[in-house]
Amino acid sequence: MRSQIEGSRAVAETVARCRPEVVCAYPISPQTHIVEALSVLVASGELAPCEFVNVESEFGAMSVAIGASAAGARAYTATASQGLLYMAEALYNASGLGLPIVMTVANRAIGAPINIWNDHSDSMSQRDSGWIQLYAETNQEAADLHVQAFRIAEELSLPVMVCMDGFVLTHAVEGIDVPSQEQVDAFLPPFGPQQVLDPDDPMTIGAMVGPDAFTEVRYLAHAKHLRALEVIPRVADEFATTFWRSSGGLVRPYGCLGADTVVVALGSVLGTVKDTVDELRAEGVSIGVLGLTTFRPFPYDAVRAALRGARRVVVLERALAAGMGGIVTADVCGSVPDKPITTVIAGLGGRPVTKKSLRGLLTDAVADRLEPLTFLDLKHDVVERELS
Partner 1 sequence: MFEVRIHGRGGQGVVTTAELLSVAAFNEGRQAQAFPTFGSERTGAPVVGFCRIADQPIRSHEPIAAPDAVIIQDATLIHQPDVLAGLRADGYLLVNTSRSLAELGLDAVDRPDRVLTVPATELALTHLGRPLPGAVLLGAFAALTAQVRVESVIAAVRERFSGSVATGNVAAVRDAYDLARRSLQEAAHAITD
Partner 2 sequence: MPVQRIKFYQTGSFAVGNRLLDPDQRSVQADTERTNSLTMGHRACQGCGEALGARYVLDAVMRATGNHAVTVNATGCLEVFSTPFPESSWRVPWLHSLFGNAPAVATGVAAALKAKGRTDVRVVGQGGDGGTVDIGLGCLSGMFERNDDVLYVCYDNGGYMNTGVQRSGATPHGAVTTTTPAGNSFRQGKSLPLIAMAHRIPYVATATVADLRDLEYKATRAMEFHGARYLHVLVPCPLGWRTASSETIQIARLATETGSFPVFEAVDGEVTDVTRIRRLRPVEDYLRPQGRFAHLFGDTPRGDVISSIQAEADRNIRTFGLVETTEVS
Partner 3 sequence: MPEANSHHPYAITLDVGSSLANKTGSWRTERPVYLDRLPPCNDACPAGENVQEWVARAEEGDYEAAWRQIMVDNPFPAIMGRVCYRPCETACNRATLDEPVGINSIERFLGDEAISRGWSVVVEAPPTGKNVLVVGAGPSGLSAAYHLALRGHQVTVRDDSPEAGGMMRYGIPSYRLTRDVVDAEIQRIVEMGVRLELGTSVTDLGDALVDFDAVFLAVGAHVGRRADIPAGDSARIVDAVSMLAGLAKGEQPLLGRRVAVYGGGNTAMDVARTARRLGASDAIVVYRRTRERMPAHDIEVREALDEGVRMRWLSTIVYAGADRVRIEKMRLDESGFPQPTGEFEELDADSVVLALGQQADLALVRDLPGVEIADGVVQVDGRMMTGHAGLFAGGDMVPGERTVTVAVGHGKQAARNIDAWLRSATYEHPERPELATYDRLNTWYYADAPATLRPQLDVARRITSFDEVTQGLTAENALFEARRCMSCGNCLECDNCFGVCPDNAIIKLGPGQGYEIDLDFCKGCGLCAAECPSGAITMIRERS
Among partner 3, partner 2, partner 1, none, residue 57 binds (CB under 5-8 Å by kind): partner 2
| Listed residue (57, 50, 136, 60) closest to 93, CA to CA | 60
- Tell me which residues in 261-300 interact with partner 1 (CB under 8 A): 268-272, 274-275
Q: CA-CA distance, 97 to 23, in Å (whole number)?
A: 19
Alpha carbon distance 231, 234 (integer Å):
5
- The residues with which 325 forms a beta bridge, in sequence order, are 321
| Smallest gap from residue 76 Cβ to partner 2 (A) | 11
Residue by residue, DSSP assigns 5-38 as EEHHHHHHHHHHHT--SEEEE---TTSHHHHHHH
3-state secondary structure of 343: strand
Q: How far is CA 230 from CA 131, 225, 297, in A?
A: 16, 9, 10
Residue 54 binding partner 3, by CB under 8 A: no
For partner 1, give the closer residue by CB, 81 or 335: 81
Q: Single out the residue of 209, 257, 324, 367 in contact with partner 3 (rule: CB under 8 A).
A: 209
Q: Work out how close the CB of 96 gets to partner 2 at its nearest, in angstroms, rounded to a whole number.
A: 9
Query: Least distance (Å) from partner 2 to the CB of residue 82?
Result: 15
Burial string for 220-233 (b: 16+ CB within 10 Å, else e) reads: eeeebbeebbebbb
Could you give the C-alpha distances from 109 to 121, 202, 256, 361, in angstroms and in order?
5, 42, 30, 23
Residue 67 or 271: the one with the smaller Cβ distance to partner 2 is: 67
The answer to the question of residue 118 lying near partner 1 (CB under 8 A) is yes
Residue from 114, 223, 324, 367 binding partner 3 (CB under 8 A): 223
Segment lying near partner 1 (by CB under 8 A), choices 10-18, 123-131, 197-205, 347-355: 347-355
102-107 vs 75-79, strand pairing mode: parallel
Selected range binding partner 1 among 95-103, 161-169, 279-287, 364-372, rule: CB under 8 A: 161-169
> Residue 255: which of partner 3, partner 1, partner 2, none does it interact with, CB under 5 to 8 A by kind?
none
- Residue 166's binding partner among partner 3, partner 2, partner 1, none (Cβ under 5 to 8 angstroms by kind) is partner 1
In 9-145, DSSP assigns E strands to 22-25, 51-54, 75-79, 102-107, 132-135
Contacted by 54, from partner 1, partner 2, partner 3, none: CB < 5 to 8 Å by type: partner 2
Q: Which is nearer to partner 1, 159 or 350 (CB)?
A: 350
Under the binding rule (CB under 8 A), the answer on residue 4 touching partner 1 is yes
**4 DSSP β-pair partners:** 175
Instruction: Please state the closest distance from residue 233 (CB atom) to partner 1, in A.
Output: 23
Rounded distance, CA 108 to CA 85, Å? 11
Position 216 contacts partner 3 (CB under 8 A): yes
State yes or no: residue 215 binds partner 3 (CB under 8 A): no
Provide the residue count of the chain: 388
- Contact range with partner 1 by CB under 8 A, out of 145-153, 168-176, 280-288, 307-315: 168-176
- State the Cα–Cα distance between residues 36 and 33, nearest whole angstrom: 5
Q: Is the distance from CB of 321 to CB of 373 less than 8 angstroms?
A: no
Q: Which is nearer to partner 2, 128 or 371 (CB)?
A: 128
Strand duo 294-296 + 132-135: pairing: antiparallel
Under a CB-based contact definition with an 8 Å cutoff, are residues 109 and 83 in contact?
no
Measured CA to CA, the distance from residue 279 to residue 349 in angstroms comes to 27
Subset of 13-32 contacting partner 1 (CB under 8 A): 29-30
The entry of partner 1, partner 3, partner 2, none near residue 157 (CB within 5 to 8 angstroms by kind) is partner 3
Task: For partner 1, give the closer residue by CB, 174 or 185.
Answer: 174
Give the residues lining the site for partner 1 (CB under 8 A).
Answer: 3-4, 6, 29-30, 116-118, 138, 165-169, 171-175, 268-272, 274-275, 350, 352-356
Instruction: Report the interface residues with partner 2, using CB under 8 A.
Output: 21-22, 24, 49-51, 53-57, 59-73, 75, 89-90, 93, 97, 197-199, 201-210, 212-213
Binding site for partner 3 (CB under 8 A): 95-99, 156-158, 194-195, 203-207, 209, 213, 216-217, 219-221, 223-224, 227
